[in-house]
Structure 1
Amino acid sequence: MSEEKKIGISNSDRAHVLVQAMPYIKRWAGETIVVKYGGNAMINPELKEAVMNDIVLMQLVGVNVVLVHGGGPEISGMLKKIGKESRFVGGMRYTDAETMDIVQQVLAGKVNKDLVQLLENTGGKAVGLCGLDGSMLKADKLPAAEDLGFVGEIREVNTKIVEDAIASGYTPVISTVAAGYHGEVYNINADVAAARIAAELGARKLILMTDIVGLLRDKDDENTLIPVVNVSDVPKLKRDGIISGGMIPKIDCCVEAVRRGVERAHIIDGRTPHSILVELFTDEGIGTMFY
């Protein structure tokens, strides 16, 4: 049996894919793209491998990738090991002092360094950072109707350490803990942090990897995907109930990023292998784009 039949794609098909990608490779070379990495793509080994390959490929063709990551399941797993129950208020983790210690250890330690090692083993160059490094993220306690403990609201973003890493040829891998103004450390929502970092870097794109296909006109029908949204239409989509529940904070992050100068923000399905490459380097794209 020929090699082409075994893998199910002809050499001409391969060539077509590369030719289609070429103008996009030229467009994004030298540009900065911030990817928020979370959800199932962070847990499933095959999806994780696909994401690492995507990022290394982007780096090799000259795209400056900044990877901002969460780590909720790993934090919950460590809390369970020490016999502490995870508590959520309005979808956000209640973070007392002991939980904050675990968040910092797990996010800035194990999860961050595991991702750096994965990228390096895949052939990339990566450096692990957190919001404490170079005073990248400064925060106050998040004002909320119900106390959330050490959950922070970003007040300042200093991206010099990120820019230095990019200039040296590294992909910065960022965990989202932030420094308070009086010695505290705060847990920051990774979507929010990615949006602010993207804006301060002057990134061309913000990509939020999620466990959904994008914004749906009917949340129970994946065929009703809305591929493009002008941020000025978001209030009406909220009033009509199309943007609701857990989608609200994610879309608010996209709107915030665009209003702060990011050209495009995307919500894409991280359950689809190589979804980042599909978004960047194909005519079709994927998910929902906000502009």
Structure 2
Amino acid sequence: MPSFVMKCGGSTLAALPDLFFEELKQLQSDGIVPVIVHGGGPAISATLEKLEIPTQFVNGLRKTSEEVLDVVEMVLSGQINKQIVRKLNQAGAHAIGLSGIDGNLIEAQPVEGHEEIGFVGDVTQVRADLIEGIIGLGAIPVIAPLGIDAKGQRYNINADTSAGAVAASLGVEHLIVVTDVPGMMKTVNGEKVILPATTEAEIQEMIQSGEIYGGMIPKVKAALKCLQGGVSEVVIVSGTKPGVLGRVLRGEAEGTRIRKSQ
């Protein structure tokens, strides 16, 4: 069985030190099995720009036409996914990369307001048995956040949303969101400080006040949905500190822990 789900942006993973991948390998060797769900927004934007395909965002989500979707699939499944698999294999781990389309791993439907945003999906079901089968082969699953519906339509799915759905479907205790910042930031007396812990209610207040905005909104909403799905906590951390995953799993102070409101 998987021990935790880790979500990481493609650009963040590309910048992580070799020690991070070596820690993932060590965790796998110790029987602590990670499932990785990754994004790749900056690489998608860069490729769209090279191809002179316009792109825009609506409430932190990329507006996705069929033309944009072709690029999203190419970059996520073909470029970012295989980079991560290569880095894990080079570190001595055993990893298998796939997207949510493979084996209907992530079933999806259009998001609310899809008329404005195109082929962006919400997760309706995750095939936990397929992920567990890969783990049974002794491999770390590395998942690109694409989805598919019963008619074969592909969907671009926010990576945080996908990771939350995967974590809930697997019944893991921890979803660890690895970023290039040390955690959620809050303004206190005019200064930005790390929020060590927060709850669903506090996050809703920060969204209403505008303190959480843009691309952070789908990130924290995915965290809340994940908690509602049975995951004990979501932890947002920086991946640049050696041993960060082990400290999170041991319950030591690190990043921002999001828990259910009491």
Q: TM-score, normalised by structure 2?
A: 0.89
Distance 1:214 1:98, change over 3 A: same
Instruction: Give 1:217 shift.
Output: 3.0
Quote the Cα distance in structure 2 between the aligned partners of 1:39 and 1:178: 18
Partner of 2:24: 55
1:130 maps to amino acid: S
Aligned residues: 258
Higher share of residues assigned strand: 2
Task: Please say if 1:286 is aligned against 2:259.
Answer: no
Distance 1:276 1:141, change over 3 A: same
Quote the Cα distance in structure 2 between the aligned partners of 1:274 and 1:54: 7
**Contact 1:69 1:190 (8 Å CA) reproduced:** yes
**Contact 1:136 1:158 (8 Å CA) reproduced:** yes
Percent of residue pairs identical = 34
Pick which of 145-154 and 267-276 moved more.
267-276
Partner of 2:120: 151
1:38-68 CA distances to partner (integer Å, 9 max, x unpaired)? 1652232xx2423312211211111110010
The gaps in structure 1 that reach 5 residues or longer are 1-29
Secondary structure at the counterpart of residue 143 of structure 1: coil
Instruction: Give 1:237 shift.
Output: 4.2
Name which of 228, 234, 237 aligns with 1:268: 237
Quote the Cα distance in structure 2 between the aligned partners of 1:95 and 1:48: 32
Quote the Cα distance in structure 1 between the aligned partners of 2:56 and 2:208: 30
The gaps in structure 2 that reach 5 residues or longer are none
Instruction: Give 1:288 shift.
Output: 0.8
Distance 1:71 1:239, change over 3 A: closer
> What is the RMSD computed on CA atoms of the aligned residues?
2.3
Quote the Cα distance in structure 1 between the aligned partners of 2:119 and 2:208: 32
Name which of 14, 23, 27 aligns with 1:43: 14
Quote the Cα distance in structure 2 between the aligned partners of 1:69 and 1:126: 14
Task: Please say if 1:186 is aligned against 2:159.
Answer: no
1:145-203 CA distances to partner (integer Å, 9 max, x unpaired)? 76111111111221111010112211000001111222211000000000000000011
Q: TM-score, normalised by structure 1?
A: 0.80
Partner of 1:25: none
Listed as ranges, the matches of 1:7-156 within 5 Å are 32-38=3-9, 40-44=11-15, 47-144=16-113, 147-156=116-125
1:42 maps to amino acid: L
Listed as ranges, the matches of 1:182-261 within 5 Å are 182-218=151-187, 221-222=191-192, 224-239=193-208, 242-261=211-230
Secondary structure at the counterpart of residue 207 of structure 1: strand
